[in-house]
Amino acid sequence: MNNNSTGTPRLSDLKVIEVGVLAGGPENLLAKYLRDRVKSFTFMENLHTRYYQPGMDFLHVSHYSNGRLDMSFKIGAGLGFVLKWQKIRRILYYILVMSGILLSVLRSRIKYDLFIAIDSPYPFSGLVLRRLQLVKKVFSIIGDHFPLEKKKQLSTFFSWFYRYADELAQNNSDAVWYFTSRLLDINRNEGTIKKESIPRLVVPIGIDMEMRMNKSESNIERTSIGYIGRLNEEIGIGLVLEAMEDIVNTVPSVTLKIIGSGDNEQLLKAMVHEKSLDNNVVFYGFMSDRAKAKEILSRCAVSVAPYVPRVAYSIQYTDPAKIKEYIECSTPVIMTKVPELANVINEKKAGFAIGYNKEEMVDAMLKLLTNDELWREYHKNISQLADRYDCVQLFDQAFTASGIEL
């Protein structure tokens, strides 16, 4: 790690590892930022536990030198037999992924300057590598939170393991970044944070300004509503469908475009048929092509994020990437007052933050679908809001505040 005359390491001289979820939005933004700015960059993407099936590779490793891909490989396909025990699969999965991280570093024969991991338990791997003197510094990024009452619902061992790894990361890393101020506050209030001397920063999920979409009004379908994300109990698409029953009476051409899949998909399709909304709702399913998905969203006049209070318990603390995608597409948002970001959307008049009820959903949808002057104002506002979340500026500020010179 080369330092300048003041002893501060330069980002361009560093050899860096990043660990995060495969195809994760925040992870990919940081990886894109780092691979063109550091001397050597290794990106380790782990498959999320909810998508893993025995026989699949659970770790994808890509190594870059001066921005160019040198090597890539995958780990895990032959280790599915270890995960055949359903009751302990989750904990074994995490152990295997962390072991894969350690073995990959040993295989690379590189001593890294900086290890960055998003969410527990993966920063723990960085702490082990630092103890082995294979990395010099560890940055932890905290993007999620399990409230104490939810941790108690997990198995005793997994609850202990998660809490132990989380506390170690937040109190032994060289810097800790939090997606929101709520995450920082809840970790303080629950006693997870014990060392205040460690730099702790709020670094929200950013927007890739190079991928930003801002369609002209002539290219926007004024009666289209977009949604992207999972279809599960945390997301009240059912509430949107109930509102659509009323909306079609005023706006017969209204169309809800749903990008994503999940446990509730068939239930929602049945609900659409039951409410005679077959001509007003389109299910696209999961889209791996994010550019195509954003093209669809950017043509919608309105976007929705109906988080269910008290069910979407982690969303109230984190920074939902879904809303940042809507901002990137310059699509005014209707969202429930669950995440911290709802306050910003309301204050900046980039959309409406509402309670979880049909009346407020109908009112917000009608305002944006039928009032052209109001829609133009909110479309302009959310386009300007994107500048606030420019990921390059956010990362520049975060690394500088964490003791890294640009």
Domain ranges of the chain: 11-206+390-401, 210-389
Q: What is the mean pLDDT of the chain?
A: 89
Gap between the terminal Cα atoms of the chain: 14
Q: Give the pLDDT of residue 275.
A: 95
Domains 11-206+390-401 and 210-389 share a fold: yes
Q: How confident is the model at residue 83 (pLDDT cuts 50, 70, 90)?
A: low
Judged against a pLDDT cut of 70, whether residue 380 lies above it is answered with yes
Q: How confident is the model at residue 201 (pLDDT cuts 50, 70, 90)?
A: very high
* CA distance to 23, 216, 293, per residue, from 290 (Å): 10, 21, 5
More confident residue, 211 or 226: 226
% the chain with pLDDT above 70? 91
Contact (Cβ atoms closer than 8 angstroms) between residue 174 and residue 139: yes
- Mean pLDDT to the nearest integer, 336-352: 96
Angle at alpha carbon of residue 51, lines to 48 and 52, rounded to 5°? 85
Judged against a pLDDT cut of 90, whether residue 93 lies above it is answered with no
Contact (Cβ atoms closer than 8 angstroms) between residue 256 and residue 281: yes
Judged against a pLDDT cut of 90, whether residue 49 lies above it is answered with no
The angle that helices 156-172 and 123-131 make with each other, rounded to 10 degrees, is 60
Report the relative pairing of strands 59-65 and 68-75 from DSSP bridges: antiparallel
Judged against a pLDDT cut of 90, whether residue 69 lies above it is answered with yes
d(CA 259, CA 282): 9
Q: Give the pLDDT of residue 107.
A: 84
pLDDT in tens, 225-284: 999 999 999 999 999 999 999 999 999 999 999 999 999 999 999 999 999 999 999 999
Q: How confident is the model at residue 126 (pLDDT cuts 50, 70, 90)?
A: very high
Q: State the pTM of this model.
A: 0.89
SS (H, E, C) the chain: CCECCCCCEEHHHCEEEEEEECCCHHHHHHHHHHHCCCCEEEEEEECCHHHCCCCCCCEEEEEEECCEEEEEEEECHHHHHHHCCHHHHHHHHHHHHHHHHHHHHHHHCCCEEEEEEECCCCHHHHHHHHHCCCEEEEEEEECCCCCHHHHCCCCHHHHHHHHHHHHHHHHHCCEEEECCHHHHHHHHHCCCCCCCCCCEEECCCCECHHHCCCCCHHHCEEEEEEEECCCCCCECHHHHHHHHHHHHHHCCCCEEEEECCCCCHHHHHHHHHHCCCCCCEEEEECCCCHHHHHHHHHCEEEEEECECCCCCCCCCCCCCHHHHHHHHCCCCEEEECCCCHHHHHHHCCCEEEECCCHHHHHHHHHHHHHCHHHHHHHHHHHHHHHHHHEHHHHHHHHHHHCCCEC
Judged against a pLDDT cut of 60, whether residue 154 lies above it is answered with no
Burial profile 43-55: b = 16 or more Cβ within 10 angstroms, e = fewer: bbbbbeeeebeee
Judged against a pLDDT cut of 70, whether residue 374 lies above it is answered with yes
Structure tokens at 386: 């994107």
Q: Give the pLDDT of residue 120.
A: 81
Q: Give the pLDDT of residue 157.
A: 64
Judged against a pLDDT cut of 70, whether residue 168 lies above it is answered with yes
Judged against a pLDDT cut of 80, whether residue 125 lies above it is answered with yes
More confident residue, 27 or 218: 27
- Mean pLDDT to the nearest integer, 59-69: 91
Q: Give the pLDDT of residue 162.
A: 77
CA atoms within 13 A on the CB side of 376: 6
- Mean pLDDT to the nearest integer, 35-49: 88
Q: Give the pLDDT of residue 4.
A: 60
Instruction: Name residue 333's beta-bridge partners.
Output: 303, 351
d(CA 193, CA 49): 26
- Mean pLDDT to the nearest integer, 375-397: 95
CATH (residue range 11-206+390-401): 3.40.50.2000
Biggest alpha carbon–alpha carbon distance for the chain: 70
d(CA 329, CA 296): 9
Judged against a pLDDT cut of 70, whether residue 86 lies above it is answered with no
CATH (residue range 210-389): 3.40.50.2000
Q: What are phi and psi of 285, to 5 degrees?
A: 75, -175
- Mean pLDDT to the nearest integer, 306-335: 92
Nearest of 68, 75, 66, 118 to residue 93 by alpha carbon:
75
Judged against a pLDDT cut of 60, whether residue 5 lies above it is answered with no
